[in-house]
Structure 1
């Protein structure tokens, strides 16, 4: 299989489902959804390696178009695809479409290389994944813009780029690296600071859980600790398998097996916090009705039994909402799936690709190393070991750290030096801890969003949304209008 070939060709490199992270950095959380909108696929002949002029290989990159609003002198909007299949629902909905209608913009969505149907190579062997990086993705955007401007006769019309989460980073970095092409950028929930140990993620999870139920994190911690105690004795494995509806009978044969189980269960809570009370339903996401309030109401309800029993009930509630049959918590199965480099493989929707980017460029590893959070058992070493187990044994913290350092040197991290860039960040969202939360200048504008979650400003408006969002969208529109004059 190509997975074995990838291991043999292991190369150490120092180098984004939804448009706003179908993946929560390193692990696939939100399961793929059926896309509710059908939009015609278009294909663009893209360069494989933008940094080697002697390499003439090309491939077909998918993109979408909405030209229903455009006029001759209107701007061009470019939505940047991320670490998952580009969702065509965004071509007819979302805040950027509202802006496009008002500003008479022509809209493009370019799918990220190696995700969705945009396959630059015959498979995803480690040797081929050397062409997967943020720098190559930015060069894809530039080549796409230059060629399409000439092909469609777009002249000097101004391009504005949009993105959320990792694509939010790409939006900010595209404006930074290609200021002659990108006139402005809206970088929603963009974690522009790469970091090895992102233990602060769970710090924010704890504070967000405590917003309406101050005792919620404590109950979660008691439940998590109880689970760890139960795991000390093999005679409890059958009970744990049944309690959490695991897909396979629980087996713990290594520290990685244990950490993977604890991480997998905790990530269901992390996912609820990250996307709390958002409006992703138009994308086909099924669990939008499960919020922090729902989770903490269950954790506070003594009629469900002990904190551990309440924790089990929370997981059952989430699984029912997502329509999952069971929880896959086998580390061996996970590694086997992630090693499969075929385009039809189990992790081909983005898991293998995005994990590779975290191991070579970003880190972003959400460990349980902080003492100010409710979970235990998945330290930084566990995350780094995954890089070695999946891609090559030579991966270690020094290798990953070198890639992270290069990323921050290349883009500037939190000290990004740019202009005409907007950084909206939801303060419930753990990712805001790695984002721009204070304006850096008059036209590098941070917009903190109280009570809002990941990429909240990007979604269609609705009555139940956080009250700050209408003002945020208005502010963004006013800035774009000003910058387009």
Structure 2
């Protein structure tokens, strides 16, 4: 996973990932927002009473809107550094202002500055799991409720993408602590092989340009043909602005290059026309419509030439000077177990979680998608190359099955959970897309991307997004008053 596009990555800096941006944002409340950064003494292993080791977990507090008897809103951090900007912007703060909520953000263990162990050697990564993360939330809530006098208040948890799953699971596994949950774009069904991701990418590309994915498929097939001959490497290096000269010595080198290039399109679809500029993203002006317009522009040449123009356009919009597409370098970075390495920003940790809990491998093992060349076996080999030969297809399959047995997959048995999903977002294929009961509610957003309901509102967003926010607020208000 070259840039760890798997879902989620270094997503919303704490909640939803992404690398694009938009032009307009709005601070929800018309008031000064006070945000405090603090540390919480957390247990290392919640499931071994004999292990007394502790560490300091980072969290943030915003008490700007708190009213007597108001709820506590807890935003769950995810597979990246927690971004305190989310304590100043976002739809959940609009709800907080109206409902008088005390707001908290807890950074996920092993991400950002929440480092429970001296390094990320394999024997330490065993403490990185969704179950330990949920237990972190429970211990954090229990202690803070006592220390800050919040015991009598109703706690509502929020999260997007993987943290969205955590929000739903926290409500399910700790119903005595979490009163309600908003689980945005939450992939609650773990799967080893996830070719449906690219099937949704194809459908999303075809929305306004029915020929777009077909033309892209022709272009990608041409790229594969060019890769077959070493004399083309210099040209490919120039076309895709690689950081170093392309060198293919193995199937994994070849596959990694193809996946790296395809991820540029996957990212555009997943985060299409969203609103992340407030947290530092770039390139939001490049949308599905923009790239499909380029793919339809015959004056640019053959489909391959148009595809090159698309990738270069994305690079320029996101201000990336070059593409790193070397599998050996990727493996070397990922095997670095220090907290100072580039992989420590979230890539290594999230890859470990996919290899040990979730799978989520976005393969090309489907005919209904616009790419080729990165099958399930490629992702399994990555797990082996980084974490050791014990990480086989069988072990990953067993781990994913255990995850679904523990959480229930799509068989949600709970109450007071909201599942918003954007239908352009490929991750909605693993989420809850229809109501399970009167208070386990799915909200589908036509034309909307990953975690769209979480962002600050803006005039340009799809019409379904503000409607979804109003529905979320209405449900929260109803539940909190009951």
Q: State whether TM-score is above 0.5.
A: yes
1:20 matched residue in structure 2: 15
Cα distance in 1 between the residues matched to 2:94 and 2:35: 18
1:159 matched residue in structure 2: 155
| 8 Å CA contact 1:193, 1:414 repeated in 2 | yes
Whether 1:63 and 2:71 are equivalent positions in the alignment is no
Aligned length, in residue pairs: 461
2:424 matched residue in structure 1: 428
Cα distance in 2 between the residues matched to 1:254 and 1:17: 34
1:351 matched residue in structure 2: 347
| 8 Å CA contact 2:416, 2:479 repeated in 1 | yes
Give me the CA root mean square deviation.
Answer: 1.4
1:143 matched residue in structure 2: 139
Whether 1:199 and 2:164 are equivalent positions in the alignment is no
| 8 Å CA contact 2:20, 2:277 repeated in 1 | no
Whether 1:218 and 2:214 are equivalent positions in the alignment is yes
2:128 matched residue in structure 1: 132
Query: Which of 103, 108, 112 pairs up with 2:108?
Result: 112
CA deviation after TM superposition for structure 1 residue 469, in Å:
1.1
Indicate the SS of the match to 1:124.
coil
| 8 Å CA contact 1:17, 1:85 repeated in 2 | no
Indicate the SS of the match to 1:131.
coil
| 8 Å CA contact 2:78, 2:108 repeated in 1 | yes
**Unmatched 5+ stretches in structure 1:** 1-15, 24-28
Cα distance in 2 between the residues matched to 1:282 and 1:336: 33
CA deviation after TM superposition for structure 1 residue 346, in Å:
1.3
| 8 Å CA contact 2:20, 2:284 repeated in 1 | no
CA deviation after TM superposition for structure 1 residue 95, in Å:
0.3
| 8 Å CA contact 1:76, 1:106 repeated in 2 | yes
1:96 matched residue in structure 2: 92
Indicate the SS of the match to 1:406.
helix
Query: Which of 259, 270, 274 pairs up with 1:274?
Result: 270
Whether 1:298 and 2:298 are equivalent positions in the alignment is no
Query: Which of 458, 464, 477 pairs up with 2:454?
Result: 458
2:30 matched residue in structure 1: none
Cα distance in 2 between the residues matched to 1:366 and 1:304: 30
| 8 Å CA contact 2:111, 2:345 repeated in 1 | yes
1:75 matched residue in structure 2: 71
Cα distance in 1 between the residues matched to 2:150 and 2:85: 25
CA deviation after TM superposition for structure 1 residue 154, in Å:
1.2
Cα distance in 2 between the residues matched to 1:39 and 1:280: 20
2:310 matched residue in structure 1: 314
Indicate the SS of the match to 1:42.
strand
Cα distance in 2 between the residues matched to 1:38 and 1:261: 45
Distance 1:101 1:38, change over 3 A: closer
Deviation string for 1:268-299 (max 9, x for gaps)?
A: 00000000000011111011111101110110
1:177 matched residue in structure 2: 173
Cα distance in 2 between the residues matched to 1:138 and 1:253: 43
Query: In the TM superposition, what are the counterparts of 1:253-402 in structure 2 within 5 Å?
Result: 253-402=249-398
Cα distance in 1 between the residues matched to 2:15 and 2:422: 13
Deviation string for 1:144-171 (max 9, x for gaps)?
A: 0000000001131000000000000000
Whether 1:446 and 2:437 are equivalent positions in the alignment is no
| 8 Å CA contact 2:14, 2:107 repeated in 1 | no
CA deviation after TM superposition for structure 1 residue 459, in Å:
0.4
Indicate the SS of the match to 1:419.
coil
CA deviation after TM superposition for structure 1 residue 470, in Å:
1.3
Distance 1:274 1:257, change over 3 A: same
* Moved >3 Å (runs of 4+): 36-40
Distance 1:38 1:380, change over 3 A: farther
